[in-house]
């Protein structure tokens, strides 16, 4: 089940558009400030997405400023590690850079009798990175597929193995493309497989990396490399290549406004999954942590980590799905009753 449809929002439409006056990303003014409460203790154990590892750490750091007695442990080895950890009761939060698969949901439901709850917390752009000195101006998804996939379900008739096949000249013309990617435990691996490889199979020579940062570091060190990773891992040593949906389409840069409008072809939600019994209220620890995530302070952390914040509308519906009301914000200058 696609939670974006459940919430009545989509990354493919303008309903995610924030009021951006420029490329600078800002937190939605309708999100509330976080106000701490009493009686919050316990342990937070997060197991799941490597893409969200830093983000979970930033949220935990901000949360602990209010609740110093809360202990936090964060493990990020891939989105596929989140469902079993939730099922076994080993984690309080399961960050995932993709939606759970139907078989993962079924396994959870078999154990608890109800489905896990998916909460969209932020927005990522899955970028295709090249070395900073690479002059490539843009790629179609079909070209990306022919670079990374041995099945080429995108439709190109021939394999792409050199930079010259993409139009680069001079020293680049005969250079073999060195390919970097994630391992199969990664939600990013699965998302890229579905959206960039058209559900095809990766080439055998993809250099699989254990984490998102490792992919970017590999591309930064290898002048003729290409790789994929979340936009939050971009560094000065790599360049995110503009992507087009097809040969007729415009190559869209991995810029914030293109994520919110849906123009960029690989924008996605980053989720946190929890085990929420629909017949019971959330205990204070998890409830307050989620309130922090969906506050101005929590979404500012999203920006700090290089991702994009969600709107107050999305936050309101996400919290409502776990029985929490998003506090209303009275805007400056509003009439008093």
Percentage of the chain lying above the pLDDT 70 cut: 91
Q: For Cα atoms 55, 20, 50, give the angle at the middle one, nearest 5 degrees.
A: 15
- Residue 15: CB atoms within 10 A of its CB come to 17
For 285-302, what is the mean pLDDT? 98
Q: What pLDDT score does 332 carry?
A: 56
The structure tokens listed for 115 are: 């489905």
Evaluate if residue 334 carries a pLDDT over 70. no
For 70-89, what is the mean pLDDT? 96
Confidence of residue 24 (pLDDT cuts 50, 70, 90): low
Evaluate if residue 222 carries a pLDDT over 60. yes
For 129-142, what is the mean pLDDT? 98
CA-based torsion, 148, 152, 154, 156: positive or negative:
positive
Evaluate if residue 85 carries a pLDDT over 90. yes
CA-based torsion, 202, 158, 240, 122: positive or negative:
negative
DSSP 280: S
In whole angstroms, give the CA distance from residue 214 to residue 204: 19
Residue 88 burial (C-beta neighbours within 10 Å; 0-12, 13-18, 19+) = exposed
pLDDT tens profile 158-189: 999 999 999 999 999 999 999 999 999 899 99
Inter-CA distances, 225 with 171, 172, 195, Å: 14, 11, 21
The structure tokens listed for 240 are: 């995110």
Confidence of residue 15 (pLDDT cuts 50, 70, 90): very low
For 40-61, what is the mean pLDDT? 96
Evaluate if residue 235 carries a pLDDT over 90. yes
Which of 268, 211, 266 minimizes the C-alpha distance to 97?
A: 268
DSSP 240-278: EPPEESSTTSPPBP--HHHHHHS-STTEEEEEEEE---T
Inter-CA distances, 69 with 37, 72, 213, 298, Å: 13, 10, 31, 19
Q: Worst-scoring range by mean pLDDT, 30-39, 254-263, 283-292?
A: 254-263
Contact 154, 200 (CB under 8 A): yes
The predicted model scores a pTM of: 0.84
Q: What pLDDT score does 118 carry?
A: 98
Q: What pLDDT score does 328 carry?
A: 86
Mean pLDDT of the chain: 91
Contact 82, 48 (CB under 8 A): yes
Evaluate if residue 196 carries a pLDDT over 90. yes
Domains belonging to the chain, first-starting first, are 3-124+269-320 (3.40.190.10), 125-267 (3.40.190.10)
Contact 131, 222 (CB under 8 A): yes
Percentage of the chain lying above the pLDDT 90 cut: 86
Q: What pLDDT score does 240 carry?
A: 98
In whole angstroms, give the CA distance from residue 70 to residue 83: 23
């Amino acid at each position: 089940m696609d939670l974006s449809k459940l919430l009545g929002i989509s990354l493919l439409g303008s309903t995610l558009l924030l009021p951006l006056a420029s490329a600078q990303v800002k937190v939605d003014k309708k999100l509330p400030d976080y106000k701490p409460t009493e009686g919050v203790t316990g342990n937070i154990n997060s197991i799941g997405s490597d893409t969200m590892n830093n983000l979970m750490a930033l949220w935990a750091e901000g949360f602990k400023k209010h609740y110093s007695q809360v202990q936090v442990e964060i493990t990020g080895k891939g989105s596929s590690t989140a469902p079993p950890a939730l099922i076994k009761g080993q984690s309080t939060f399961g960050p995932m850079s993709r939606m759970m698969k139907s078989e993962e949901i079924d396994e959870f439901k078999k154990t608890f009798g109800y489905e896990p709850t998916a909460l969209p917390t932020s927005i990522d752009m899955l970028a295709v990175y090249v070395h900073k000195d690479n002059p490539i101006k843009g790629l179609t998804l079909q070209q990306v597929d022919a670079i990374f996939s041995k099945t080429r379900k995108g439709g190109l008739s021939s394999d792409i193995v050199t930079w010259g096949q993409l139009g680069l000249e001079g020293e680049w013309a005969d250079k073999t493309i060195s390919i970097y990617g994630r391992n199969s435990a990664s939600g990013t691996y699965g998302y890229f497989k579905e959206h960039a490889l058209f559900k095809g199979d990766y080439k055998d020579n993809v250099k699989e990396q254990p984490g998102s940062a490792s992919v970017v570091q590999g591309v930064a060190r290898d002048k003729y490399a290409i790789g994929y990773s979340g936009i939050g891992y971009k560094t000065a040593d790599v360049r995110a290549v503009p992507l087009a949906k097809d040969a007729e389409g415009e190559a869209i840069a991995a810029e914030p406004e293109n994520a919110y409008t849906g123009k960029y072809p690989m924008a996605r939600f980053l989720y946190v999954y929890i085990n929420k019994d629909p017949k019971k209220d959330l205990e204070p620890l998890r409830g307050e942590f989620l309130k922090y995530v969906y506050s101005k302070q929590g979404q500012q952390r999203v920006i700090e980590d290089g991702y994009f914040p969600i709107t107050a509308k999305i936050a309101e519906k996400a919290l409502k799905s776990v029985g929490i009301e998003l506090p209303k914000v009275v805007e400056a200058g509003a009439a008093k009753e």
